[in-house]
């Protein structure tokens, strides 16, 4: 079940990234969607370092329009996974996805 959610998340991120890449202005946002999509497919064993100061304007735009809603969704799913012992590792990965989807610009995987 968990892998189906992450596979669906991967396809949604890739689709949204393709839609963003249609316009020239949206290409940086599309590239970030591809980065999040690749991370959502294989999140285990990777660390995320976010640096807000690399692209602050892009991060502010992302947070206002997209970031907080997506991060909230990943946090809610992570809290639900924390209910069972088996779901704890998956919850930790959802919290990583939440931090990446909140501020993707300037973050390193």
pLDDT at 22: 92
Give the DSSP letter of residue 108: B
Ordered by start, the domain boundaries in the chain are 2-102
**Closest by CA position to 102, among listed 54, 53, 57, 52:** 52
Which of the residue ranges 19-28, 40-49, 57-66, 78-87 would you say has the lowest mean pLDDT?
40-49
CA distances from 46 to 6, 13, 42, 62, 92 (A): 15, 18, 8, 23, 11
Which residue in 100, 62, 65, 98 sits closest to 80, CA to CA? 98
**Cα separation, 16 vs 19, whole angstroms:** 5
Q: What is the pTM of this model?
A: 0.78
Q: Return mean pLDDT, the chain.
A: 83
């Amino acid at each position: 079940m968990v892998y189906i959610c992450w596979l669906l998340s991967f396809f949604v991120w890739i689709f949204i990234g393709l839609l963003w890449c249609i316009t020239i202005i949206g290409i940086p946002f599309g590239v970030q969607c591809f980065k999040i999509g690749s991370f959502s497919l294989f999140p285990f064993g990777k660390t995320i370092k976010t640096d807000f100061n690399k692209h602050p304007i892009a991060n502010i735009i992302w947070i206002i329009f997209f970031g907080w809603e997506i991060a909230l969704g990943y946090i809610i799913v992570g809290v639900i996974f924390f209910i069972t012992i088996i779901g704890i590792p998956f919850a930790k990965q959802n919290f990583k996805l939440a931090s990446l989807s909140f501020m993707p610009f300037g973050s390193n995987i």
